[in-house]
Amino acid sequence: MTKKLIAVCACPMGLAHTFMAAQALEEAAVEAGYEVKIETQGADGIQNRLTAQDIAEATLIIHSVAVTPEDNERFESRDVYEITLQDAIKMLRALSKKLKR
């Protein structure tokens, strides 16, 4: 069975930290053997929007956010793990090890 991680990264300005967190999550997920799709929300709107199918098929859902994500109700029926943008950026190695479990 394929492991699928999806994530939303969002901050009020949606500039550097959003994309740094997205990159860190993607690297950790790939290293741990997950397929990955990450939605970013920021100054340029929503990019790489997660679909209902993405959400339904996800093994793991992470919100790495500094604000409540737009359209957050999409995730109401699922368990979502929230971490800060800074934690996603700083904890790449530790996150990768946890995802491998």
Give burial (CB, 10 Å; 0-12/13-18/19+) of 46.
middle
Instruction: Report, as residue numbers or ranges, the catalytic residues.
Output: 11
**Distance in Å from the first CA to the final CA of the chain:** 15
SS3 46: strand
